[in-house]
Chains A and B, each alone.
Chain A
Amino acid sequence: MSTQTVTAKGLKNVEKDSVFKDTMKRMLKNKLAVIGLVIITIQILLAAFAPFLTSYAPDTQTLSARELPIGSEGHWLGTDNYGRDMWSRIVYGARISILVGLGSVALGLIGGVILGLLSGYYKKLDAIIMRIMDLLFSFPGILLAMLIIAILGTSLVNVVIAISIWSIPNCARIVRGSVLSAKKEEYILAQRSLGASDRRIMFKHILPNITAPIIVFATMRMATAILSTSALSYLGLGAQPPTPEWGAMIAAGQDYMWTSPHMTIVPGIAIMLVVFAFNVVGDGLRDALDPNMELD
């Protein structure tokens, strides 16, 4: 018995490695996805090493050096209306955007995966859970998030919660669909006939087999989460000043569009690049993880 388990584990590892390698190989063939990966890597590096990459704190004001244009001495991206260094604010903003994205997607996944598994696995729960999800679906996403923030109050943490609640129904529906097809597979039948518990079947056997759509969903969702955070902050519902959140920076800069357009354009480009990157990487992953696609 014990020897068998060992071999099974060994086999699994071999399989895992090769899946990862295959996926990477396929990904690298997709030029757009590679560009996306590079952008994401840069963002992660900026976020991680923010203090080493900047010479000013993001909220240090120099009222005598307000609205310096791009290319000014000491401030290569210029300064904003309080004389804060734009480069510092963008770099620290990268940190916020990645944390908020990861946080809300992770929370949304936990909720969505559990609900999706339950709903796909237990027929009785299915109707109830899916109707609740339909209820959440009936609100336009950003409105739902605004409603949740109106209840919880404005702060970045509440934005994370709001966006994660908004991702739950999407995630649950994707997971449920995959569970429905996976539970008909013979290896599940085999587990069941061996007397495995429902929990074991769900988390040990079904879940690992449906990771591909979840990974794709999570990656694409990062883009939505980052964009929504910016949108909510732009509307004044998210990050509070002086937090260097990109959406809030656009909102603050729009009154200065005529005199200092860089205050809106720079964070705008940052948001655009990151959202673009997560979308193309998600797309690339979808293609790469598709077992039907040929690896020539």
Chain B
Amino acid sequence: MYEKLLFLLVAIPILLLAACTGGSESQPEGGNAEGNEGGGSGSADQTLTYASTSDAPGLSPIDTNDSVSSHVIEQVYETLFKRNAETGEIEPLLAKSYENPDDNTWVIKLKEDIKFHDGTPFNAEAVKYTFETFLDPERAAPRASLLAPVESIEVKDEYTVVIKTNKPYGAMLAALSHSNASIVSPEADKSGNLNENPVGTGPFKFVSWEKGNEIVLEKNADYWQGEPTLNQVTFKVVPSVSTAISMMETGEVDFIDGVTSQHTSRLEGNGSINLIKKEGTPVYYMGFNMEKEPMNNPEFRKALAHAIDRDAYVESLNGLGVRSNSFVGPQVFGYDESAEDLGYSYDPEKAKQIIEENGFGDQTYHMLVANRDMYINMAEIAQAQLSEVGINVEMEMIEWGTFLDMTAEGNFDLTFLGWSNVTGDGSELLYPNLHTDNLGSSNRTRYSNKEFDELVVKSRTTTDQEKRKEYLAEANALAIKDAPWVPMHHGVVTAAVVDSVKGLELSPTGSWRLYKVSRE
């Protein structure tokens, strides 16, 4: 009896603790962890440790398509063009200049005297090799669609490459500034596996990768823009964000990104951690399955849009979201302020009235939600608000992979999704997500509107950037009116760094470069 009791007294608190592990995992002893001394400017150890919740699937720009990999790729490789993190303008990086003799031809001059980490010279051959490998159906690059309109890549001379497209491709520069279109060393790719052993022209060189634990990079002393300040960078895998924050507090980790609203107050309350926030390109929305009754009824979509108090929702994100009626977000190319006057604002009375008139409240709707904090948060708030106007929703939460399959198959009534839009270009949002071509694949809400399709195609096949902007704004306005989505919020990209880290630039797409970063 007493034994049992003793066991209970011990076991229950342990179980309880186990239930709360998230943050209470044993904190390693702090003290003089690497580079956390601060103070003396010259003596600071120029190393940086970044933590992410999962390991990179690979380190080759050609063979990966995810943000974890791209964070490493962006330090090791470089692209021909780059989007300026401040102005949003696309500027040459490895390229020197470009011109369009006609709408289907891109003549790109390259910078000279740049070498890959393995000593291979960077030239037009390397560019040709990279893009041809990227488009090779046998290589099956996951992001090959970026360069889909490209017909041929020719070497004009050592530092001039000519890219021909089969139709005008307006988003070419955006595509060429995408981290997956980084230039790789042809020698390294032929003789080895870039996924395991990346070789680029970037400011950092690959050193080692302990799978599931950490990736180590060191500085490229011969970097063409000058030596970086940091000597070594470590990408650590820490599955729980709370643990990563604890590790920042003890000095084991210096930098994390993708901070969600539930952690902001903890980070902001810590005087030695800087939380960097920047309005970004991602858009998060509630999507209707436009192939099903009554979701294909505009009145239904209108009623639900009126029912959701997005101001209160965005307010609850603690500053990590931007309220906008527009699908193409304020930081995305193609945004026009006039879009804010469109769309359907919060008006529960009107919603109730429409729902009663049409009898929408008679059935229960299937809301499919991916098992990720942000989507669960949206879904819980939306469900409560919908039930207030008489719409009953049954929520099903499932794992991410299954979720993507089920939404592609159209196995839902309502769902929540986002699009991070790495190129920052409106065409790259509207075409994959809402164009009829992509029904059943990336067009998960199954929106199809001829007029809209035409405008999106025009925005993709025009090279005049002003015209493109007009087409995108028009397409955007049309989609807002049709409301296949209720835009919940536009993302704010975040990063948290310890005080001694200086010079981190966060781009609106959530990517960052460590070239100019230093420790004080």
Contacts and interface: CB of A to CB of B under 8 A. Distances in A.
Interface of A: 32, 59-61, 63-64, 66, 81-82, 154, 227, 230-231, 234, 236, 240-242, 247, 250-251, 254-259, 264, 268, 271-272, 275-276, 279-280, 283, 287
B84 interface: no
Given A227-B15, A240-B397, A255 B22 contact: yes
B16 A268 contact: yes
Interface string B200-242: 0000000000000000000000000000000000000000011
B397 A236 contact: yes
Contacts, number: 94
Majority DSSP secondary structure for residues of B touching A: helix
Q: In this complex, which of B5, B262, B371 has the most chain A Cβ atoms within 10 angstroms of its Cβ?
A: B262
B16 A272 contact: yes
Contact of A250 (B20, B385, B396): B20
Majority DSSP secondary structure for residues of A touching B: helix
A252 B395 CA distance: 16
B312 A63 contact: yes
Given A240-B397, A256-B262, A275-B12, A247 B316 contact: no
Nearest to A269: B16
A81 B20 contact: no
Nearest to B387: A59
A216 B81 CA distance: 73
Interface in B253-276: 260, 262-263, 265-266, 269
A276 B376 CA distance: 32
A162 B268 CA distance: 43
Contacts of A63: 309, 312-313, 315-316, 381
Contacts of B24: 257
B262 A255 contact: yes
Contacts of A66: 316
A239 B27 CA distance: 31
A254 B266 CA distance: 13
B384 interface: yes
A230 B12 CA distance: 13
A283 B1 contact: yes
B190 interface: no
19 contacts: A63-B313, A63-B381, A81-B316, A82-B381, A82-B384, A154-B397, A227-B15, A230-B19, A231-B19, A234-B19, A236-B371, A242-B384, A250-B19, A250-B20, A255-B241, A258-B266, A264-B20, A280-B5, A283-B1
Contacts of B384: 59-61, 82, 242
A63 B377 CA distance: 12
A255 B312 contact: no
Interface string B373-392: 10010011101110100000
Q: Which 4 A-B pairs have the closest CB atoms?
A: A254-B22, A255-B262, A63-B312, A258-B266
Contacts of A60: 384
Interface residues of B, number: 41
Nearest to B260: A255
B379 A268 contact: no
A287 B21 CA distance: 36
Contacts of A256: 262
Contacts of A236: 371, 397
Given A61-B380, A61-B381, A255-B262, 5 more contacts: A63-B381, A250-B19, A250-B20, A257-B20, A276-B12
B242 to A, nearest CB: 7
Contacts of B263: 255
